[in-house]
Chain A
Amino acid sequence: MRNEQMNSQRNDTNISKSRNNKKLTTMLWLSLVALMALLQGSAAVEFTFDLADNAEDCFYEEIKRNTSAYFEFQVSAGGQQDVDVTLKDPQNKIIYSLERATFDSHQFTAETTGVYTACFSNKFSAFSHKIVYVDFQVGDEPSLPGVDEHATVLTQMETSAQAIHKALNDILDAQTHHRLREAQGRKRAEDINQRVMVWASLETASVILIGLVQILVLRNFFTDRKPSQARYGRL
């Protein structure tokens, strides 16, 4: 009887131990999954850079297999606001290419793990440098720490918060887009303003110059005839 009791007690501790173990392993698994998820996704970088004339700039990003990536660019100033763009996969195969483009976006899913290359070329332009905006998003947005790691069903509040978060992200993207378009327009307008000034002053100067030269030439013309005129007089 006593033995039995002891046995059952041992059993109990065994059970609780195994439960603990189970909890630990699940935790480990969870953390591993979280680690993978964090390592895999979510490298969103947006930046604007100055592409010199006759130059080619490349950017590299390592993308894991089956991760979706979003690539967007926009030329906001310089020359005819165009640039050659190529996206290459790790095998150097071109997966996307555009020539003389002002803006575009491309969404793709990585077929192999490796370094993907995005190149911007300005080789065709000998004089004008370009300002290029690039947005390169790999994977999904990283979730908030401590959030989304549990497996329970979201409450209505949480779902709403998530929906609002998505909507606000869209708004921010739209704002960025508008800001770039506005910058494009504004830079053009500033350019036009400058050009109006320079050309108008040049034109005014040339009108005055031509007027003066005309008179001088004409006077010269008639003063050169003087000898013949004198001859006429003699006759």
Chain B
Amino acid sequence: MRDQWICLALVLCALHSACGLYFHISETERKCFIEEVPDETTVIVNYKVELYDPRSNGFMPSSPGIGMHVEVRDSDDKVILSRVYSSQGRMSFTSHTPGEHVICMYSNSTAWFNGAQLRVHLDIQVGEHAIDYANVAQKEKLTELQLRIRQLLDQVEQITKEQNYQRYREERFRHTSESTNSRVLWWSLAQTVVLVCMGFWQMRHLKSFFEAKKLV
């Protein structure tokens, strides 16, 4: 009985994740999303692409010819995932460095379809939202209460990660501020010195010039 329920829930989840938010891009366009995540955090991306059909003035539910190129870069601009998926895909990656991860999508279409519209359904889940609790419950045979506590634990873990990341970012922020502070200080000092030297040199130069011209 319970297993049936879980099966049903799983199927529904799968159905459900396919719909949701969507947007339009042209076939040659590249769309990027940024996810700022702490380290060791799982990100799941679900998408479905539909091709615009001018005949029916709608979008074809399945477009087997279309493939999507998905590229994920981490905060150091290093590629951590770059693959071509079909019109529907699901990928997950785990961050190893904290920071902004850029997820870019573009279709692998050729000039053949050039300019056609694509409808992209997208769902991005980060951290504890990415955990599939139906699966967890089934695999580890947890009771309801255990499952609840498990979710709480995952949430707390995510919060801890986020706080560590916060500390890291605060450090970076402070570093920038201190750099600005010292730059302002040293530049103003340097400028004052330059100004004084310039004035001194100008006076001396002019004096010797006038003396040479016998003007004074």
Chain A residues in contact with chain B, CB under 8 A? 31, 34-35, 38-39, 42-50, 57-62, 131, 136, 142, 144-147, 149, 155, 157-158, 161-162, 164-165, 168-169, 171-172, 175, 178-179, 182-183, 185-186, 189-190, 192-193, 196-197, 200-201, 203-204, 207-208, 211, 214-215, 218-219, 222
Contacts and interface: CB of A to CB of B under 8 A. Distances in A.
A207 B194 contact: yes
Interface of B: 2, 5-6, 8-10, 12-13, 15-16, 19-24, 31-36, 122-124, 126, 129, 133-134, 137, 144-145, 147-149, 151-152, 155-156, 158-159, 162-163, 166, 169-170, 172-173, 176-177, 179-180, 183-184, 187-188, 190-191, 194-195, 198-199, 201-202, 205-206, 209-210, 213, 215
Contact of A211 (B36, B159, B176, B202): B202
A158 B151 CA distance: 12
B71 to A, nearest CB: 14
A182 B202 contact: no
A182 B123 contact: no
B174 to A, nearest CB: 9
Contacts of A171: 159
A215 B124 CA distance: 65
A146 B6 contact: yes
Contacts of A59: 21-23
B22 A146 contact: no
A174 to B, nearest CB: 10
B148 A158 contact: yes
Contact of B159 (A42, A47, A165, A172): A172
Contacts of B176: 186, 189-190, 193
Contacts of A45: 20-21, 122-124
Contacts of A183: 36, 169
Given A172-B155, A189-B176, 17 more contacts: A35-B12, A38-B12, A39-B12, A43-B16, A59-B21, A60-B21, A146-B5, A146-B134, A165-B151, A172-B159, A186-B176, A193-B180, A197-B183, A200-B184, A204-B187, A208-B194, A211-B201
A182 B169 contact: yes
Contacts of A208: 194, 198
B186 to A, nearest CB: 9
